[in-house]
Structure 1
Amino acid sequence: MKVTRSFWLGLGSGLILSAMLTLLFSPQQKPSDVQLNPQTALPKNESTKEPDSPPPVQPIESDQKESLPPDPQVSPQIDRDFVIPKGASAEQIADLLFAQELIKDKEAFLAFTRQMRAERRFRAGTFKLSVGLSEEEVIFRLLK
């Protein structure tokens, strides 16, 4: 296929046209509600209703807060210091991480380590790690 100027012109105009059609016929609003220039907008008919606003949020009473279970996605990250001793192998590091509950699966950690060819790239030192990180993210942080 020969790529010419007319090819690029057709491609560009097709993308622009599809973007304009998407704006006009998006499912979020009716085509009649689209206003191209807000300064020249006409007043809406009384027959057109505004969408209902969501009800106001009621604050939770203090006794209700205690009965709700904690949301795992909102829980704060707990940073811990993790020390790699001098001369430690990847298997010893996996054992230490598992013992401190920084990883859930030693075998998955070692598999990622082998896959990334990072078995001998770990250096001794102290690292800040958070509980709940994936094995892959733990490896990336230990290699920094």
Structure 2
Amino acid sequence: MLNIFNKDFLLGIGFGFLVSALLVNFLGSEKLTDSQIMDRATQLGMVYQESADIETDKTPVLPKENTVDDTEKNSNTEDVNIEKVNMPEQPEVVKFVIKAGTGSEKIARMLEEQGVVADRNKFYQLVTEKNAHRYFRTGTFNLPCGADMEQILEILTGK
């Protein structure tokens, strides 16, 4: 019978831990610089959180208009037709924060409230189909409002 309190058994386990620690230390993965980590985080859609109390911040981008200064209007004596020219509209981006311990149902509800997804039940169904409930990452993400649900799930889970 195996006695786990045997001196030889405990020495064997201790020696195994020691050897594995040395192997991991010398043969472990390559060290990443801060800039490499930040570049990878940007690729995955993560951004810096500006303040800890803001959960989501929806900032629409408004088109700019061409305007004429008052000095230009006064110097011109003839009537001038001024046309307002709208710049092409840029896609709306939502800054989305996932805190540690947030469940997939709450994430789906928050996405619907911020206008990122149209139907939280369909998003939750997609999460269930992909078995992605435990793969949501914490952090701040820039989510495009025009993206489909699979793209959003990929950004939030990294898979």
| Greater length-normalized contact order (CA 8 Å, ≥ 6 residues apart) | 2
User: What's the TM-score, normalizing by structure 2?
Assistant: 0.44
Structure of greater Rg: 1
